[in-house]
Structure 1
Amino acid sequence: MERSAWEQIQAGTLTVETALAVQRAVTAFAAESGQPRFDVEMALKRLVRHPEPEAA
């Protein structure tokens, strides 16, 4: 979902519905895992927006 949102952000087509869906999913995951929402969101964004290069 975050990858789709990131693609939409880059294309200038992000919808409120997509942004809300991502936020709800992040919030739910954080609550279930006991982690701070901010930490979950930042880790997800880092993973999607700045992926590690694939090993050769």
Structure 2
Amino acid sequence: MADIDFPDDLIALERSAWEAIQAGVLTVDTARAVQDGINAFAETAGLSRLDVEMGLKKVVRHTAP
């Protein structure tokens, strides 16, 4: 999987969802917004949805302190 240049708004959506997951308050609307963003970005960029989702999670969830 190559490095993907994610738009800031998509990173913010995933970050919001990740924080909600950690707090135990993730809503269907938040999860759907993230998935819709991933799908739209993947289609526009000509990338696999799975690669986009995995890459985005890596950027948001696995950053060095």
TM-score (norm 1): 0.91
Q: Which structure has the larger Rg?
A: 1
- Structure number with the bigger relative contact order (C-alpha 8 A, sep ≥ 6) is 2
RMSD: 0.8
Q: Does 1:19 align with 2:34?
A: no
CA distance in 2, matches of 1:40, 1:5: 16
Partner AA of 1:7 in structure 2: E
Identity %: 62
CA distance in 2, matches of 1:4, 1:33: 23
CA distance in 1, matches of 2:64, 2:47: 23
Q: Which contiguous aligned blocks of 4+ residues in structure 1 show a shift greater than 4 angstroms? A: none
